[in-house]
């Protein structure tokens, strides 16, 4: 077993991806930023000294403290505090955890839905393929934010008011997930069409392997590369979509604010001079999305055999 | 003094893990009016030499040493001028006529563009010159076809256009890199004749890069043999091919399937110790041999297949008859060959026999069971294990994400789900050794193997279900000739020991002659002739068969 692990490690070290990674400063910097953000967000209780959601630790006297380097700043609040005296940095990290959870879950949901439909559509073809692909066409004509708003509106109609705050995060995941799947369906169908005509698929068919095993054991691992690339870029889109919805007030409730909620809350204070309450969550979101996109770009360049020199 | 002088040319490719020496101190001279054949297997550096002459070496390759003299110009030091010499003094013909012409420009525009880049001619003069060139390379109605786009030409015609492009600025040196590899036999001979004619008439110096010894024997005056970047042997074609000095050349020549006689096995010169010994076929113990009777194993009756290319109008007139009313039988224990050019429907027939395609009409019987009417899954599985297939492309026929042992164990486990782990491992090892691969191969991934080794893995996978019929669809077309000889030997051994019935599909007549007992000749979906191998080669009945036999490049032509 030990030997096996070692060989996997050495295979990674030996691979072209690792080699290209070492040669690309963009990839190194962006993944470094992402690792820090992910770590701080998921271990936020350990990283931050304050819990912004514990009312007993808040003091209204400390509300609207500007960042520490300005004239009125306090050293213990590096990025200042908001209208309720919550430490901005801690609040942002708590918020980014929610944004990341929603983003990852939504993209996972649309990955499973999209790849499942795209793979089967490409493999079986015929009327089923027609149906799936026209469905993606129809959905692509509706802007994804509008789609998510629609889902959210329907959910509000169905779910009772008391339940809604608890369910909000799941509704959000579903709303974003359902609006992103056509991308994955299209890409995985196109890749499946290429793979299914290769001889190794014919060979498996001739041996007598069932369609299900051919699709998931043989074809799926071979189409993962393009899916991984659009999945990464899709993650950034999902996080931005979450923030947009929360900014519009249809996302997660203000009691458990995500990055978008924070930007919306801070927006009210922007014209009274308390710029930091909206500026820092917004900057954080930009850096997060930008880093994911840069990493996705690098992955597309590296994993695309057609771009190889 | 010779016209082109390559002196001590070395080309290195600095890769991530190692430096590949694509050419090592190569010395070649070519005179005007002669064709020099540059022959070698894939990776031998023959194309590198061609590309070095016109300065087309791609990154990260670099010319590290040596000089290339064209007449009295040094192409190395005159780098500014290389661009001017390209096209003007040196013409180039590529392998694939499908991709070497720009599809959105008419051939006339492409010719005029090239001519006006290098020669000081008006558009009208350039057009006249182009038309006379097109006539020279044998394109009929040149005035009309001048305004056609590349897709309106057939493959052979397109290669003629490419040749006219290479010639349009009166070059003195012509480099042809596998000019006929993508073409069918009948067109190949026309293109080679054209190159020979042009060499004579225009007093060109020609470098013909190819892997095909038959082409070399029929066209070149002198030949240079390359291996791993080294120039092994150079001399008059007749001398090198009939009396090779180096062991490598000998093995290369002996690997070429002779066209004029049938031999029992190919001689593998490089493995001189094991010469002509059959290896141990370990799976024999597990094999339940079928007795060879004189019965038909496969009967194909009035088989047809048409491909509809219009989704909305199913009965459109555009449908192509890929296979048109074909009937033949394969006897138990024989090797039956299907020969034809590209598009003749040979692969379509194979795919219908293994039930990948449904025939449009007609029936296929396997052991008196009608294949096309199998409905039940259980019967289909029983049928599946009796027919297996080996594909042409060794790179796409193995799933690159699975280890070799997973690839081979899949059919075993599927047809024998109760097999124990040690038994399974032993079975895999036996299969691997039967195709002359080591046991350690089982833990590796397909990309770690060469094309020939991959084809062995394919064979092992196909044998895992103990089939009665093995369909080989161009099993060696993607391989080098020495590897081809080894794979063909292996297939012959397996067939003899295991009493396999083989359907052998190929476009390569000499190979078919070595392998098959009976042969069917296909043309455009129709079966022209079925007869015993020797009868077909010695006394062909059909006119198309006669034409094919006449046109195939023969290595023996060197003795004439």
Tens of pLDDT along chain A (309 residues) come to 344 455 677 777 777 778 888 888 999 999 999 999 999 999 988 888 778 777 777 777 777 778 878 777 777 787 888 877 788 888 899 999 999 999 999 999 999 999 999 999 999 988 999 999 999 999 989 888 888 888 888 888 888 777 777 888 898 999 999 988 999 999 999 999 999 989 999 999 999 899 999 999 999 999 998 899 999 999 999 999 999 998 888 888 877 888 988 888 888 888 888 888 889 999 999 999 999 999 998 988 887 655 544
Supply the pLDDT for residue A117.
96
Closest chain A CA to residue B381: A208
Q: Residues 439..458 of B with a Cβ closer than 8 Å to A: which? A: 458
Using a 10 angstrom Cβ sphere, with 0-12 exposed, 13-18 middle and 19 or more buried, the burial of residue B362 is middle
Contact of A127 with chain B, judged by CB distance below 8 Å, is answered with no
Average of pLDDT values for B416-424?
90
Contact of A11 with chain B, judged by CB distance below 8 Å, is answered with no
Cis peptide before B60 (omega within 30 of 0): yes
Please give, rounded to a whole number of angstroms, the shortest distance from the CA of A173 to a CA of chain B.
32
Least confident of A66-70, A284-288, B39-43, B106-110: A66-70
Q: Which of the 8 DSSP states describes residue A27?
A: H
H helices of chain A, in order, are 2-14, 16-23, 25-42, 44-47, 88-124, 126-141, 144-158, 161-196, 199-207, 211-213, 220-247, 259-267, 276-303
Closest chain A CA to residue B411: A207
Closest chain B CA to residue A20: B16
Which secondary structure element, helix H or strand E, spans residue B473, and what is its range? strand B469-473
Contact of B536 with chain A, judged by CB distance below 8 Å, is answered with no
Interface test with B, best of A199, A215, A224, A307 (most B CBs within 10 A): A199
Distance, CA of B473 to CA of B464 (rounded, Å)? 18
Distance, CA of A42 to CA of A96 (rounded, Å)? 9
Closest chain A CA to residue B385: A207
Comparing CB atoms, the residue among A199, A200, A206 nearest residue B384 is A206
Cβ contact B397–A200 (<8 Å): yes
| pLDDT for B273 beyond 50 | no
Residue B329: C-alpha distances to residues B56, B61, B322, B367 (Å): 52, 53, 19, 11
Distance, CA of B294 to CA of A209 (rounded, Å)? 32
Contact of A204 with chain B, judged by CB distance below 8 Å, is answered with yes
Please give, rounded to a whole number of angstroms, the shortest distance from the CA of A30 to a CA of chain B.
24
Contact of B399 with chain A, judged by CB distance below 8 Å, is answered with yes
Q: Complex ipTM above 0.85?
A: no
Q: Residues 461..520 of B with a Cβ closer than 8 Å to A: which? A: 461-462, 465
Please give, rounded to a whole number of angstroms, the shortest distance from the CA of B60 to a CA of chain A.
9
Cβ contact A200–B396 (<8 Å): yes
Tens digits of residue pLDDT in B120-169: 888 899 999 999 989 888 888 888 888 989 888 888 888 889 999 888 88
Residue B175: which of B118, B249, B94 has the closest Cα?
B94
Pairing of strands B222-227, B35-40: parallel
Supply the pLDDT for residue A1.
36
A204 neighbourhood in chain B, CB within 8 Å: 399, 410
Contact of A221 with chain B, judged by CB distance below 8 Å, is answered with yes
3 state SS of B320: strand
Residue B92: which of B4, B159, B10, B14 has the closest Cα?
B159
Closest chain B CA to residue A200: B397
Cβ contact A204–B410 (<8 Å): yes
Tens digits of residue pLDDT in A257-274: 889 888 888 888 888 888
Contact of B398 with chain A, judged by CB distance below 8 Å, is answered with yes
Pairing of strands B320-331, B296-307: antiparallel
């Amino acid at each position: 077993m030990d030997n096996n692990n070692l060989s996997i490690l050495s295979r990674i070290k030996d691979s072209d991806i690792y080699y290209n990674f070492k040669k690309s400063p963009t990839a190194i910097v962006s993944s470094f930023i992402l690792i820090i953000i992910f770590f701080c967000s998921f271990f936020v209780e350990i990283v931050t000294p304050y819990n912004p959601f514990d009312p007993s630790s808040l003091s209204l006297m400390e509300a609207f403290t500007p960042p520490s380097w300005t004239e009125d700043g306090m050293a213990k609040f590096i990025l200042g505090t908001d209208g309720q005296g919550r430490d901005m940095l801690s609040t942002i990290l708590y918020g980014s955890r929610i944004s990341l959870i929603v983003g990852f879950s939504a993209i996972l949901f649309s990955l499973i839905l999209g790849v499942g439909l795209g793979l089967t559509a490409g493999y079986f073809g015929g009327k089923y393929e027609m149906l799936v692909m026209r469905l993606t066409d129809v959905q692509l004509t509706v802007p994804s934010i509008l789609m998510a708003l629609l889902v959210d509106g329907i959910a509000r109609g169905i779910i009772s008011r008391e339940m809604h705050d608890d369910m909000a995060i799941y509704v959000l995941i579903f709303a974003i997930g359902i609006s992103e799947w056509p991308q994955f369906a299209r890409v995985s169908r196109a890749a499946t069409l290429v793979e299914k005509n290769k001889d190794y698929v014919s060979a498996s068919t001739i041996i007598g392997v069932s369609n299900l095993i051919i699709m998931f054991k043989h074809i799926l691992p071979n189409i993962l590369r393009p899916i991984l690339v659009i999945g990464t870029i899709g993650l950034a889109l999902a996080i931005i979509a979450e923030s947009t919805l929360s900014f519009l007030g249809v996302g997660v409730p203000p009691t458990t604010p995500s990055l978008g909620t924070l930007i919306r809350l801070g927006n009210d204070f922007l014209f009274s001079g308390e710029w930091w309450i909206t500026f820092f969550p917004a900057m954080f979101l930009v850096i997060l999305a930008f880093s994911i996109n840069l990493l996705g770009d690098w992955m597309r360049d590296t994993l695309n055999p057609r771009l190889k020199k | 003094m010779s016209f082109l002088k390559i002196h001590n040319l070395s080309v290195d490719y600095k890769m991530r893990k190692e430096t590949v020496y694509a050419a090592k101190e190569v010395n070649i001279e070519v005179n005007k009016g002669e064709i020099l054949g540059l022959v070698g297997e894939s990776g031998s550096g023959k194309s590198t030499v061609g590309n070095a002459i016109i300065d087309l070496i791609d990154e990260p390759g670099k010319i590290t040493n040596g000089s290339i003299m064209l007449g009295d110009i040094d192409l190395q030091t005159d780098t500014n001028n290389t661009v001017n010499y390209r096209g003007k003094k040196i013409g180039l013909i590529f392998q694939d006529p499908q991709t070497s012409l720009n599809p959105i420009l008419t051939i006339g525009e492409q010719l005029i563009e090239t001519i006006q880049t290098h020669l000081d001619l008006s558009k009208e003069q350039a057009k006249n010159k182009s038309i006379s060139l097109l006539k020279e390379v044998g394109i009929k109605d040149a005035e009309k076809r001048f305004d056609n786009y590349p897709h309106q030409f057939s493959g052979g015609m397109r290669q003629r256009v490419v040749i006219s492009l290479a010639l349009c600025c009166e070059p003195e040196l012509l480099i042809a890199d596998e000019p006929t590899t993508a073409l069918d036999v009948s067109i190949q001979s026309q293109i080679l004749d054209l190159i020979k004619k042009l060499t004579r008439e225009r007093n060109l110096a020609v470098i013909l890069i190819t892997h095909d010894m038959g082409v070399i024997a029929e066209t070149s005056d002198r030949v240079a043999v390359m291996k791993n970047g080294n120039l092994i042997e150079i001399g008059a074609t007749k001398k090198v091919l009939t009396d090779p000095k180096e062991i490598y050349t000998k093995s290369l020549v002996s690997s070429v399937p002779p066209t004029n006689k049938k031999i029992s096995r190919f001689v593998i010169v490089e493995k001189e110790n094991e010469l002509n010994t059959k290896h141990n076929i370990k799976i024999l113990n597990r094999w339940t041999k079928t007795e060879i009777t004189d019965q038909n194993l496969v009967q194909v009756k009035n088989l047809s297949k048409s491909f509809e290319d219009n989704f909305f109008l199913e009965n459109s007139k555009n449908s192509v008859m890929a296979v048109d009313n074909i009937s033949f039988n394969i006897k138990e224990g024989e090797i039956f060959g299907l020969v034809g050019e590209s598009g003749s429907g040979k692969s379509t027939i194979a795919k219908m026999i293994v039930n990948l395609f449904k025939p449009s009409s007609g029936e296929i019987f396997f052991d008196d069971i009608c294949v096309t009417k199998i409905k039940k899954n259980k019967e289909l599985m029983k049928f599946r294990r009796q027919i297996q297939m080996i594909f042409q492309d060794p790179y796409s026929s193995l799933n690159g994400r699975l280890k070799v042992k997973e690839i081979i164990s899949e059919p075993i486990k599927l047809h024998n789900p109760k097999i124990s782990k040690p038994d399974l491992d032993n079975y895999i090892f036996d299969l691997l050794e039967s195709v002359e691969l080591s046991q350690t191969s089982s833990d590796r991934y397909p990309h770690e193997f060469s094309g020939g080794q991959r084809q062995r893995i394919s064979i092992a996978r196909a044998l895992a279900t103990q089939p009665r019929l093995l369909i080989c669809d161009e099993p060696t077309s993607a391989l080098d000739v020495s590897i081809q000889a080894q794979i063909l030997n292996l297939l012959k051994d397996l067939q003899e020991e295991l009493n396999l019935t083989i359907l052998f599909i190929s476009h390569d007549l000499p190979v078919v002659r070595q392998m098959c007992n009976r042969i069917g000749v296909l043309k455009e979906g129709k079966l022209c002739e079925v007869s015993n191998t020797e009868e077909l080669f010695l006394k062909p009945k059909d006119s198309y068969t006669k034409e094919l036999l006449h046109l195939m490049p023969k290595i023996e032509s060197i003795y004439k």
